[in-house]
Amino acid sequence: MNMQNTAVMAPPPPKGLEQMKLSVVMMRDIMLKTMFRKNVDTATEVAKAICLPLQVTQELIDMAREQKLLEATGTLNANNGNEMGFQLTDAGKARTMDALQQSEYFGAMPVPLEVYREQVERQSIRNIMITRGQLTDAMGHLILPDDLLSNLGPAVSSGRSILMYGPPGNGKSSISNGIRDAMGDKIYVPRAIEYAGQVITVYDPIVHSAVEEQEDDPTQLRRRTLFDTRYVRCQRPTVITGGELSLDMLDLVYNPTARTYQAPLQLKSTGGIFIVDDLGRQAEPPQSLVNRWIVPLEEAKDILALQSGEKFEVPFDTLVIFSTNFHPNEIFDQAALRRIFYKIKIDGPNQENFLKIFALVANKKKIPLSEDALIHLLQEKYPTIDNIYANYQPVFLIDQMIAICEFEGIPNQMTPELIDRAWANMFVKDEHIVK
């Protein structure tokens, strides 16, 4: 696997205001709003709150002092290494109120979109090379057909789109999660990005799993400058959407109160995986959803729009996995199918693999296997559904038998009679209900 080391991938910390590529007024105002909202008053506290190196923060403080927006308090803060404290002057408070009227955003300084693009290149999903061993390790808990990993590996390593299709209950979602687990490296997610003076928040603790930093490390301050702390070091993100996905969820979300934007799901998944589960169950037809992805998938860029109507390009660096229980020809035209690079059919297990799964589940759930019960299941029950096996069935049947045993007050066991009772809950007979 092409595991890039942290030093290569990490966004370098800015060394001065001129490297920030943000308007100095915007930076100064965000610092003033942060000092006001978070009640921080020393350079070290302010630097931590706005996620900038101390020397860059000091430049901002000096500028605000020259403009008579900040003043030294004249007292040393004993709790913070006897640092000088600073406070807003009356003019500073007035400027802060004006700035809050324009945007409530405060805290981490945003990363300009053009700078973020460079970081996306450094940690592109397309740079990842996943080996058979890594994919096997990540999927180790699944019993899969032999040829599936052979098809899946090149698809994942390409970083292009994948369509997984086949009957329900055969682990398409588990396979998607396994792909995510196989990507063991870390990337850097910006807390917020800036475009045309607008702030778009990106880091989302629901989507992004931050890698814990050691808070009590005495060398923390020196170590933190190894990368730009406007970013959070995270696992590669995975966004999973299902039947609830709608086209407007792929647009920027504007907060009229705070006057800031929140990144849409596909931007939050940059450098990771976007899984559209249960395609065909959404309110919008599958063809419309795929049409929305065509430009991003082909050109590695997406187009978003601000409230003003101004459109702009953002990087699209995401492995998109569509998963459906329908046959592709039922839900897509040929033009859409051409644009999805890999189509992988996920079938149910054969009888041999079904028995392997059944034995694994029984062992895990501590219910002894019974030859009589298994023969009854395979010879009496499965012929009634044309011997079509599915990955979910062993768990379903075994959980049902355990529940019956607990209710009856008997040790966990499987018998032909318990198989019959469990089977009756797995399928509902076609019969007319008399109203």
Tell me the helices (H) and strands (E) count for the chain, helix number first: 18, 16
Retrieve residue 260's tokens. Answer: 């800031």
Closest CA to 19 of 48, 68, 59, 46: 59
Cα(58)–Cα(49) distance, integer angstroms: 13
Neighbours of 178 (CB within 10 A): 22
Which residues in 152-256 belong to E strands, given as ranges?
162-165, 186-190, 192-195, 198-201, 231-235, 238-241, 253-255
Retrieve residue 353's tokens. Answer: 């693999």
Q: Output the tens digit of pLDDT for each of the chain's 435 residues.
A: 344 434 348 899 999 998 999 999 999 999 999 999 999 999 999 999 999 999 999 999 999 999 999 999 877 655 656 788 999 999 999 999 999 999 999 999 999 999 999 999 999 988 888 888 888 888 877 788 778 888 888 888 888 889 999 887 777 778 877 887 888 788 999 999 999 999 999 999 999 999 876 444 444 444 445 899 999 999 899 888 888 888 999 999 999 999 999 999 999 999 999 988 888 888 888 888 888 888 888 889 999 999 999 999 999 999 999 989 888 888 888 877 887 888 998 888 899 999 999 999 999 999 999 999 999 999 999 999 999 999 889 999 999 999 999 999 999 999 999 999 999 998 766 555 455
Query: Crossing angle of helices 90-102/24-38, nearest 10°?
Result: 100
- Name the 3-class secondary structure at 187: strand
Neighbours of 134 (CB within 10 A): 18
Q: Pairing between strand 198-201 and 192-195? A: antiparallel
Alpha helices in 103-201 (DSSP H): 113-122, 132-138, 146-158, 172-182
- b vs e for 155-172, b when ≥16 Cβ sit within 10 Å of the residue's Cβ? bbbebbbbbbbbeebbbb
* Residues sharing a CB contact under 8 Å with residue 184, sequence separation 6 or more, in sequence order: 1, 3, 134
